[in-house]
């Protein structure tokens, strides 16, 4: 499986793995699966840390560098093609980061792993919901 991690799934897998469902945790550790991460998630982590919405054990830049090094992530860049695909995904709430991740998942043929109910109710891309 080719899995694109939503930002909070990436954060949880690195810092709070108990927040992951048994199924998601198993899929993320299965070497047969490809784990993908978007630079949009790096931007989102830096933004959330700057706003005080998340606390990291180091600066956001240091945390991101260590987290990227720790995981076997492939880069799912937000490309021009993904920007154009924004018109092909639908979300119930206008969140730019979510829309960019959904469009990226669509373009790369990835399954977006998320706990976000708005993403789960979206269309035009494939999701795997982190559910207990």
Mean pLDDT across the stretch 62-90?
95
Mean pLDDT across the stretch 84-104?
95
pLDDT band at 30 (very low <50, low <70, confident <90, very high): very high
Mean pLDDT across the stretch 42-63?
95
Supply 19's token pair.
Answer: 């927040």
At residue 132, the pLDDT reads 67
Mean pLDDT across the stretch 41-62?
95
Distance in angstroms (rounded) separating the CA atoms of residues 76 and 125:
15
At residue 71, the pLDDT reads 85
Show the domains of the chain with their CATH numbers.
2-129 (3.40.50.1010)
At residue 94, the pLDDT reads 81
Chain-centroid distance, C-alpha 69: 16
Overall pTM > 0.75: yes
Of 84, 90, 96, the C-alpha closest to 123 is 90
Mean pLDDT across the stretch 15-26?
96
């Amino acid at each position: 499986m080719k899995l694109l991690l939503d930002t909070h799934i990436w954060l949880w897998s690195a810092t709070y793995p108990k927040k992951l469902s048994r199924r998601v945790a198993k899929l993320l550790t299965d070497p047969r699966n490809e784990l993908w991460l978007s630079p949009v998630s790096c931007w989102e982590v830096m933004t959330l840390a700057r706003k005080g919405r998340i606390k990291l054990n180091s600066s956001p830049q240091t945390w991101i560098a260590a987290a990227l090094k720790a995981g076997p992530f492939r880069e799912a860049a937000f490309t021009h093609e993904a920007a154009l695909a924004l018109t092909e995904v639908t979300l119930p709430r206008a969140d730019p980061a979510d829309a960019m991740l959904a469009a990226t998942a669509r373009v790369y043929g990835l399954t977006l792993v998320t706990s976000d109910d708005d993403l789960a109710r979206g269309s035009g891309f494939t999701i795997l919901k982190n559910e207990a």
